[in-house]
């Protein structure tokens, strides 16, 4: 039976916008100052791959293949066959995850920090039991495990330092990428959820796994002065209009919702609302809720606001143990003489399963 945490992760809504810079671009342009990463070559030994057999083109092909198979396995579209040599890397990868008791739930999940102007596509999200969420970063190398270990902690010959405190090594670069994923994912998970990071390097003859220290998820690593914030590109940072406080405005809200069959009792006070979900939440019964979002706009609400409302609906549904029906509507509050010019109900595609 799937854990509660696994269900919560499966219900997360990925960011729809890629406004800003990807973390790999930030790593290249800001940490490495656009200097190509050039670590020392491992010492060539008899029977090991040398420079001639290791090419960028081959590396890209291997990486795309492994990422594609990883996604298919997570989505249950592919069953690993240990006897198939094409499945060797993916078999080593999932064998390592199984030993750590990590169950993969999501793949290619976009998270973002628009206030920092950075986003990333997390390669995988897994869970350990009902207590820990794991951000998974997949890497591939044409080196053998022995060769990989020889160069993984050696600094770049073009630029020795990433920051004042970090050497420009593959290990630190991978940890920063994963750390940003941990940082951004933490913001969309329920409070007090434990998030860890794991870098998996698939080699020519195995898979090495590296736990990422929580210090790499610290905000200090991702405040880049030259990157402008991309506020508004992500649902968590789009604020709904506060509920109007005047008696006349409240009457208009009641009238707008009443047209769609949502009747208010005389004793119902709209100013007593829960700001955790939308602008306020109406209880329609013991097991039925309506999440209402008030939006101040001169036109139709954008996709980000619709996604935020959908996210709030999901949060309420999960917080109520998935035993309630939750709907949502958006009231667009205009600046003209009429207080509302749009009443938009949440499409079924935005509602959680079993919540209709």
Whether 256 has a pLDDT exceeding 60, the answer reads yes
Indicate if the alpha-carbon torsion angle 231, 236, 238, 242 is positive or negative. Answer: negative
Q: What's the CA gap between 356 and 349, in Å, rounded?
A: 10
pLDDT in tens, 157-198: 999 999 878 999 999 999 999 999 999 999 888 878 999 999
Domain end residue (candidates: 230, 249, 278):
230
Query: How would you label 262-289 residue by residue, b for 16+ Cβ within 10 Å and e otherwise?
Result: eebeeeeebeeeeeebbbbbbebeeeeb
Are 181 and 205 in the same domain?
yes
Are 226 and 242 in the same domain?
no
Classified as helix, coil or strand, 164 is: coil
pLDDT in tens, 19-56: 678 999 999 999 998 899 998 888 766 555 445 578 88
More confident residue, 343 or 152: 152
Mean pLDDT, residues 123-136 taken together: 95
**Within a domain: 108:** yes
pLDDT in tens, 283-336: 777 788 888 888 776 666 677 777 788 878 887 887 787 788 888 888 877 655
More confident residue, 116 or 315: 116
Mean pLDDT, rounded, of the chain: 82
The predicted structure's pLDDT at residue 273: 47
**Within a domain: 355:** no
Are 34 and 180 in the same domain?
yes
What is the 8-class DSSP label of residue 154? P
Mean pLDDT, residues 336-349 taken together: 65
Q: What's the CA gap between 224 and 204, in Å, rounded?
A: 36
**Within a domain: 162:** yes
Which band of pLDDT confidence, cut at 50, 70 and 90, is reported for residue 243?
low
CATH number at residue 90: 3.90.320
Q: Which residue range is the domain that position 333 belongs to?
A: 238-350
Are 226 and 258 in the same domain?
no
The predicted structure's pLDDT at residue 292: 83
Backbone angles phi, psi at 188, to 5 degrees: -105, 0
The predicted structure's pLDDT at residue 232: 39
Q: How many CA within 13 A on the CB side of residue 348?
A: 3
Nearest to 19 by CA among 123, 117, 120: 117
The predicted structure's pLDDT at residue 3: 74
Whether 274 has a pLDDT exceeding 60, the answer reads no
The predicted structure's pLDDT at residue 54: 83
As for how many domains the chain has, the answer is 2
The predicted structure's pLDDT at residue 336: 57
Whether 266 has a pLDDT exceeding 50, the answer reads no
Are 273 and 191 in the same domain?
no
């Amino acid at each position: 039976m799937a854990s509660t945490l696994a269900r919560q992760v499966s219900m997360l809504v990925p960011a729809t916008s890629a406004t800003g810079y990807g973390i790999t671009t930030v790593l290249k342009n800001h940490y490495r100052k656009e200097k190509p990463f050039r670590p020392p070559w491992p010492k060539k030994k008899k029977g090991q791959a040398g420079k001639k057999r290791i090419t960028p083109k081959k590396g890209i092909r291997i990486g795309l293949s492994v990422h594609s198979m990883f996604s298919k396995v997570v989505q249950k579209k592919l069953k690993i066959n240990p006897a198939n040599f094409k499945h060797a890397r993916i078999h080593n990868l999932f064998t390592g995850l199984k030993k750590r008791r990590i169950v993969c739930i999501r793949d290619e999940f976009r998270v973002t920090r628009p206030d920092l102007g950075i986003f990333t596509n997390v390669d995988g999200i897994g869970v350990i039991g009902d207590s820990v969420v794991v951000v998974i970063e997949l890497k591939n190398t044409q080196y053998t495990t022995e060769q990989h270990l020889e160069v993984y902690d050696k600094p770049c010959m073009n630029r020795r330092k990433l920051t004042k405190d970090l050497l420009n090594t593959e290990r630190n670069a991978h940890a920063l990428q994963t750390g940003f994923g941990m940082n951004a994912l933490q913001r969309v998970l329920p409070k007090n959820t434990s998030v860890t990071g794991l870098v998996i390097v698939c080699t020519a003859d195995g898979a090495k796994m590296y736990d990422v220290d929580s210090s790499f998820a610290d905000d200090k690593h991702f405040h880049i002065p030259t990157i402008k914030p991309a506020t508004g590109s992500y649902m968590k940072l789009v604020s709904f209009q506060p509920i109007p406080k005047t008696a006349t405005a409240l009457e208009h809200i009641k009238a707008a919702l009443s047209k769609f069959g949502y009747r208010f009792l005389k004793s119902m006070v709209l100013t007593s609302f829960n700001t955790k979900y939308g602008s306020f939440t109406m209880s329609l019964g013991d097991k039925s809720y309506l999440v209402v979002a008030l939006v101040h706009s001169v036109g139709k609400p954008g996709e980000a606001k619709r996604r935020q409302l959908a996210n709030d609906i999901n949060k309420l549904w999960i917080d109520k143990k998935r035993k309630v029906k939750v709907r949502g509507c958006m009231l667009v509050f205009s600046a003209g003489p009429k207080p509302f010019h749009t009443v938009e109900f949440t499409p079924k595609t935005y509602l959680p399963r079993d919540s209709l």
